[in-house]
A and B are shown apart, each in its own frame.
Chain A
Amino acid sequence: MEVEKNIPTLTAKDFESDQEIRWCPGCGDAAILKQMQNLLPSLGIPKEKIVFVSGIGCSSRFPYYMNTYGMHTIHGRATAIATGLKLTRPDLNVWIITGDGDALSIGGNHFIHLLRRDLNVNILLFNNQIYGLTKGQFSPTSTQHQVTKSSPFGTDDKPFNPMTLALGAGASFVARSIDREAKHLQEILKAGQAHTGASFVEIYQNCHIFNDGAFSMYTDRASRKNAALFLEHGKPLLFGEENQFGIKLDGHQPKIVDVKHEESLNDLWIHDESDGIKANILSLFFETETFPRPFGIIFQKSSKRDIDQSQPYKEISVEQYNHLLGGKENWTVL
């Protein structure tokens, strides 16, 4: 990346565009936008090298509010559009802003293939478990039996588990954060950006109009300590009001234990971001009611793709082109 030249010190304000923000007042999207604008100045990347690409949905308005290059495209295709951009312009810093409908429903195919290809981009999935922009239909992450405008008797569909899906698609960076935890969110965004390869960050985002409180158990004072598990690399898995609970692996089965019955915290499951098998088990906590929901970096491993083999524009001679035009076999008519 060309960061040689002196980049003027930028502030969060430099990344605000002149567009009026049209999200509903109090929307979790605005909180995420703020963290992004706070983060970017610290990265040392010139504004003109940053591109935000989005699809369709509430979250996809994001690029309009960033004073960088940006594309607000069509439903589900931000991932595909960003793929072409990054393949041809490896020098750019590319962020994909998508939602649960955009990435996992209409754009599901592009989403898994982007992760499989592991291009060096950042994917932020704003998950509010509802279709907001179309005013309240169930989404592929809505909970089973959720009553919405399009499921007045509850939806029969099971929700996607985005973490397991991403790991299954071969993602090299998988993390989860939440709109209300500003500091945590910014740390995760920063780690995702620092990762070489595709970084996937699922952000729980509250839609207080159509699905208010979907994540309140992870934000309410009374429940959050028991419901959320904040992961740190190299640290044991602890949760509860006073971190009194730990998680231990019994064979491949996770178990919740009372910490004071353990001889040493080291007997607990120590989080290792690079362990893909454990990452899969962690991601499956989603499917249970007994285990807390993990937040933080679930998995991170260096990409196997030849990243940023930026192909400089080759100098090609007229002879090479004439040779190409002439093909393998040619003849002259006098």
Chain B
Amino acid sequence: MKTITKVNKDDVIIKFAGDSGDGMQLVGNQFTSNTALRGHDLATFPDFPAEIRAPLGTVAGVSGFQLHFGSSEIETPGDLCDVLVAMNAAAYKSNIKNVKPGGTIIADISGFDKKNMRLAGYQETDVLLVNSASTNFTFFQVDITKLTVESLKEVALDAKDKDRAKNMFVLGLLFWLYDRSFESTLAFIEERFSKNDMVKNANSLVLKAGYHFGETTELFTNQYELKKAVQSPGKYRGISGNEAIALGLMVASSKASLPMFYATYPITPASDILHFLAKQTKTFNVQTFQAEDEIAAICSAIGASFGGSLSACGTSGPGMALKAEALGLAVTMELPLVVCNIQRAGPSTGMPTKTEQSDLFQSLYGRNGEAPLPVIAASSPSDCFFAAFEAVRIALAFMTPVILLSDLYLANGSEPWKYPEYNALPEIKTRLLKESKEKFEPYNRNEALVRNWAIPGTEGMEHRIGGLEKKDGTGDVCYDGDNHHHMVKLRAEKVANIAETIPLQELSLGELNADVLIVGWGSTNGSIRTAVKELLLEKKSVAHIQIRYLFPFPKNLKGILEKYKTVLVPEINNGQLVKLIREKYLIDAIPYNKIQGQPLNVAELKNEILKYC
């Protein structure tokens, strides 16, 4: 019987990496749900190759899944990992630079044979897996493939299918290392393979074999333990950003008592919203429409909006570019619409599987004519729910298209979410007009300058609206210069009035009179918070705000910005919010830009902030 040392940890970052076909996403997701159920806080980020089936064993075909979990608040999936699981040489090659000094590498030595070394671009004579005494890392070399096949020698599966179960061996081993029960995964296997007993049994056997290997081998002498995170009481679930947007739109449309219409064209990384919603169409008041192109998607949404639906579209940068003209139509017709832009690296096709925040200017300015519309951003996977809910509220309250900005990092990332009860969420008011004593005029407005919404089928309110400039009130086509000037100002003022209904900007961390204020928006929230928290612990004079409402800005933003000597604006673009702030408030805000398709690196960000405090 070996002696096992229990080692306590505050947080751990594990990266599972292997070939696309190695099932690393499944291992990651299973370990994650087990971690969540155990009461740790966590954040995850999958990292897929752009190619669906890149050549086996190559760096291009590596699929990864990073999980950061711990006993205190976890804001990001983490920069460098403590543990790298490398199923082959290519996975090792593409991830080794992201392992912490002193980190642990668990390698399947079958994936480091001559052939795999060559495919990964190494010399066949290179020795990667060496004695830990001579490197910074601790290596655990396990012949996972061989052990998997051995554990299935009684099972009548062919060699290829046996080989495919090796991800369960890894999972079992990791469960042992972190002293977990594997029951949740057994239940998962039971359900997933309920139609194929042989595969079901094989996966269960291999999972247990991995666990027992950890238990018996002399290789591992440590087991790692983490305390539960202190979480506020309530019901939790795991959620990704795209799922949260889909849910937010659905629940908000229900709170507005409207049917929902989601029109879209497949595009990475937005398509998962469609996949989720398409499954709900039989049960809920949701209709999905996969259009022939991006333009048809938004145009059909505008048509549905005219007909009285809550309409929404999901897309990414290139699709947004194609939607520009129709967005202008929705602005001038003053119809409610939510367009979700799940940003990715551009320009043009750019890097479709890498994240970026470079469509802020496009959202604000990417239309012909004076076409202002509200723009809001989500700041974490679960926050996508509330951002979507708020986007719907604004669209309906102000009869306007709204752009909701998320990005690939939020879309695919996931975290535990203390989800709300349906009844705890507010009702949403619409401008639907069912009857009127006076003659209906489509462009008559309320005190906030918002028009009414009379939909076909409503007797006596027949009217025509369109893309031509319209006379204030009646909506008749009008080319008069003075009227146009008036209408341009009216539409701008209406959008500006939204600022009266949004929450004031709050400080996320730090004090009002600190030396440096870090101003972020969107998905950088986690990285910035982690960096600022660490600096605050180091007694640095730093504060943080994360702006959700990018247009119009919260009314008190200027007042906050003016309190600080230094305003630093980190963004995953070449400097966009920083320019808006400089332009609007004449404040000498300083940009900090990383445009590498990755979330902001906390250590790098900290170093940057330290220059100013």
Contact = CB atoms under 8 A, between A and B. Distances in A.
A156 B234 CA distance: 71
Given A49-B457, A85-B307, 9 more contacts: A48-B456, A73-B299, A84-B261, A85-B304, A110-B292, A318-B422, A325-B421, A331-B235, A334-B233
A325 B238 CA distance: 11
A87 B461 contact: no
Q: Is the interface of A mostly helix, strand, loop or mixed?
A: mixed
Give the interface centre of B280, B295, B311, B326 by most chain A CB atoms within 10 Å.
Answer: B295
A62 B82 CA distance: 67
5 contacts: A80-B299, A83-B303, A84-B301, A314-B284, A333-B232
Contact of B289 (A49, A74, A84): A84
Nearest to B257: A313
Given A89-B308, A92-B307, A325-B251, A69 B456 contact: yes
A72 interface: yes
A192 to B, nearest CB: 20
B284 A316 contact: yes
B283 interface: yes
A123 interface: no
A87 B261 contact: yes
Nearest to B293: A109
A48 B477 contact: no
A144 B48 CA distance: 51
Interface string A123-151: 00000000000000000000000000000
B37 A331 contact: yes
A113 interface: yes
Contacts of B37: 329, 331
A332 interface: yes
A32 interface: no
B373 to A, nearest CB: 16
Contacts of A82: 303
A51 B456 contact: yes
B419 A83 contact: no
Interface residues of A, number: 56
A316 B254 contact: yes
Given A77-B295, A334-B233, A48 B461 contact: yes
Interface in A295-328: 311, 313-314, 316, 318, 320-322, 324-327
A243 interface: no
B326 A322 contact: no
A64 interface: yes
Interface of A: 17, 19, 46-53, 56, 63-64, 66-74, 77, 80-89, 91-92, 109-110, 113, 311, 313-314, 316, 318, 320-322, 324-327, 329-334
Given A49-B456, A324-B250, A325-B420, A67 B462 contact: yes
A321 B422 contact: yes
Interface stretch (B112-120, B142-150, B464-472, B547-555): B464-472
A332 B419 CA distance: 11
B280 A85 contact: no
Give the interface centre of A63, A67, A84, A332 by most chain B CB atoms within 10 Å.
Answer: A84
A20 to B, nearest CB: 10
Contact of A84 (B39, B235, B303, B329): B303
Contacts of B303: 53, 71, 80-86, 88
Contacts of A70: 463-466
Contacts of B457: 48-49, 89, 91-92
B459 A48 contact: yes
Interface string B166-182: 00000000000000000
Contacts of B231: 333
Contact of A87 (B234, B285, B304, B465): B304
Contacts of B307: 84-85, 88-89, 92
Contacts of B287: 87-88, 311
